[in-house]
Amino acid sequence: MARKATATQAKTQPNVPQFSEQQDLEAFREMLLIRRFEEKAGQMYGMGLIGGFCHLYIGQEAVVTGITMASEKGKDSQITGYRDHGHMLVMGLDPKGVMAELTGRQGGLSKGKGGSMHMFSNEHRFYGGNGIVGAQASLGTGLAFAAKYSGDGSVAIAYFGDGAANQGQVYESFNMAKLWNLPVVYVIENNKYAMGTSIERAAATTDFSMRGASFNIPGEQVDGMDVRMVYDAAQRAIEHARSGKGPYILEMLTYRYRGHSMSDPAKYRSKDEVTKYRQERDPIEQVRARLLAGGKISEEDLKQIETEIRAIVTEAADFATNDPEPAASELWTDITIEA
């Protein structure tokens, strides 16, 4: 039976996996890049430079960072929904291309035609950015089928939220994945709210790690605010899938600090609730505290990393602001026209 631990239990759990100083530095840098990038994207949205929908990943950075650290970059595939900027950054996609796609410029990853929710990179094995709720579960299962069919030894990692976990196509995908023992890890990013509806009001059962029980798919709950716990669980899940044992479910207990999207004032929760998570469970501050406590990394060292990250984000924002918009002829590219 897979191990399970709630976020509260993980705080006092004596067997919390330990990171080396190098792992903590890597996690700190990756999560800080996501945080500062998303903050800048929110600012640019407010200035009218980004149109359409924009879903920020602020607060959830430890999930994709820990999982990607446990995966094989360039081999394992990843796919998610529309809260996708952080996933692309951690997988190594150019921040300038990500930001330019948000502003609809020709240098964007989808040539400025996809926007926030529709970016991908076959080179980096990242397949979106999908606007249809729950679609990534089915598409991720397809990626896993392709992996098994080709025998390339890769694992597909499909992220979706607690709201999408109630979609019918998710369970069709679970059934197919277990039937054929496909190498897929389903990551349910449970940030407590499906858009503006709490899980208690929307889900008959709120332990999402057990959603695959009827298909004999193992699952576990993970403290998604602690990158060490995420990494540890992801290692187990990915090895399970890669070794031919079939799908695995990871429910990440996490929290988003901003609204569902930039148009959401998030009045369905209290400011005290958000403040409590920021002050007590912030994933970046946890790593910062460990690095400083180790004695080898100084506050000045971390400030230097912060300066480097801000420079990367500023460069991306400048590029995304000044890069030309796509030519009108792009309306007729990358589409299939049937006679």
The CATH number assigned to the domain holding 227 equals: 3.40.50.970
157-185 burial, b at 16+ Cβ within 10 Å, e below that, comes to bbbbbbbbbbbebbbebbebbbeeebbbb
| pLDDT of 336 | 83
| pLDDT of 13 | 39
Mean predicted confidence (pLDDT) in 170-193:
97
Q: For residue 38, tell me if it sits in a domain.
A: yes
Closest CA to 328 of 113, 48, 115, 101: 113
Structure letter (DSSP) for residue 304? H
Q: For residue 5, tell me if it sits in a domain.
A: no
| pLDDT of 79 | 98
Mean predicted confidence (pLDDT) in 36-62:
95
| pLDDT of 314 | 98
187: Cβ contacts below 8 Å, ≥ 6 apart = 63, 67, 157, 158, 159, 160, 250, 252
Higher-confidence position of 14 and 228: 228
Q: Average pLDDT, whole number, for the chain?
A: 93
Mean predicted confidence (pLDDT) in 104-120:
92
Residue 143 has pLDDT above 90, yes or no: yes
Helix (H, G, I), strand (E, B) or coil at 285: helix
Residue 171 has pLDDT above 80, yes or no: yes
Mean predicted confidence (pLDDT) in 101-110:
96
Domain of 124? 10-316
Q: For residue 84, tell me if it sits in a domain.
A: yes
Q: For residue 306, tell me if it sits in a domain.
A: yes
Nearest-5° Cα angle at 91, 321 to 63: 105
Judge contact between 164 and 187, C-beta under 8 A: no
Q: For residue 331, tell me if it sits in a domain.
A: no
> pLDDT tens digits, residue range 229-245?
999 999 999 999 999 99
Domain count, the chain: 1
Strand partners, 221: 251
| pLDDT of 3 | 46
Highest mean pLDDT among 15-24, 44-53, 311-320: 311-320
Residue 11 has pLDDT above 60, yes or no: no
| pLDDT of 337 | 77
| pLDDT of 339 | 66
Task: Return the CA Rg of the chain.
Answer: 19
Q: For residue 333, tell me if it sits in a domain.
A: no
Q: For residue 332, tell me if it sits in a domain.
A: no
Residue 84 has pLDDT above 90, yes or no: yes
For tokens 């100084």, what's the residue? Answer: 298
Residue 139 has pLDDT above 90, yes or no: yes
Residue 8 has pLDDT above 80, yes or no: no
pTM of the model: 0.92
Query: Dihedral through CA 245, CA 134, CA 188, CA 61, nearest 10?
Result: 120
Helix (H, G, I), strand (E, B) or coil at 10: helix
Q: For residue 339, tell me if it sits in a domain.
A: no
Predicted confidence band at 10 (pLDDT cuts at 50, 70, 90)? very low
Share of the chain above pLDDT 90, in %: 86
Tell me how far apart the alpha carbons of residues 165 and 199 are, in angstroms, rounded to a whole number. 11
Predicted confidence band at 52 (pLDDT cuts at 50, 70, 90)? confident
Residue 130 has pLDDT above 80, yes or no: yes
Query: Dihedral through CA 137, CA 138, CA 144, CA 146, nearest 10?
Result: -150
